[in-house]
Structure 1
Amino acid sequence: MLIKFLAFASFREILGKERKLDVNEGATVKEVLAILASSCTGFKVAAFEDSDELMDYVLLMINNKRIESPRDLSRSLHEGDELAIFPPVAGG
C-alpha cells in the first residue's frame, strides 16, 4: 500500500520534503519509522535514542492530526494516509 511521508525543518534536510512509501498492508507508524531509519542513518541519529526508541521531542501527525509517542506508534496506517514528522521547533 502507498502512504505519503512528509518531513519538516531539519528532518526535511535529512529525508527530503516528501515521498511516497510502499509499505505492507497494515504497517504501523513504528514500522514505517524503522524503515526510514534503516535507509538513512542521519535520520536514525537525529530521531532515535541509542535504544532505538523515538526521541520524546519528535512530533508525529497522521492525516493532520497529532499522535502521541510512544502510545500511538503501534497505530496501523492505511492506503493513502499521510504521516508527517517534525523535529523540535524553538523560537525566540
Structure 2
Amino acid sequence: MNVRVRAFAQLREALGADRTMDVPAGTTMSTLLALLGAESVQAKEALFEENGDLKGHVILMKNGRRVPRSEGGTNALSEGDEVALFPPVAGG
C-alpha cells in the first residue's frame, strides 16, 4: 500500500521533503519510522536517540491530526494516508 511521507525543516534534509512509500498492509506509525530510519545514518540520527527511542522533539501527524507517541505502535496506516514529521516549532 502507498502512504505519503512529508518531512519539514531539518527533518527534510535527512528524509527528503515529500515522497510516497510502498509499505506492507498493517504497517504502523512506529514501523514506518523504523523503515525511514533504516534508510541512512542521517535519517536514523534525525529520528532516533542512541537507545532507539524516537527523539522527544519529533512531532508526528497522520492525515492532518497529531498522533500521540503512545499510539505510534498501534496506529495502523491505510492506503493513501499522509504522515507528516515536524521538528519542534518555535515562534516569536
TM-score band by shorter chain is: over 0.9
Query: In the aligned structure 2, how far is the partner of 1:55 from the partner of 1:15?
Result: 15
Determine the structure 1 residue equivalent to 2:60: 60
Is it true that 1:18 corresponds to 2:18 in the alignment?
yes
Q: What's the CA shift string for 1:29-65, capped at 9, x where partnerless? A: 0111001100021121122111111011110000000
Consecutive unaligned residues in structure 1, runs of 5 or more: none
Determine the structure 2 residue equivalent to 1:79: 79
Query: In the aligned structure 1, how far is the partner of 2:84 from the partner of 2:57?
Result: 14
Counterpart residue type for residue 25 of structure 2: E
Q: How does 1:28-39 map to 2 (within 5 A)?
A: 28-39=28-39
* TM-score, normalised by the number of residues in structure 2: 0.93
Consecutive unaligned residues in structure 2, runs of 5 or more: none
Q: How far 1:90 sits from its partner (Å)?
A: 2.7
Determine the structure 2 residue equivalent to 1:4: 4
Aligned pair count reads 91
Query: In the aligned structure 2, how far is the partner of 1:32 from the partner of 1:39?
Result: 11
* TM-score, normalised by the number of residues in structure 1: 0.93
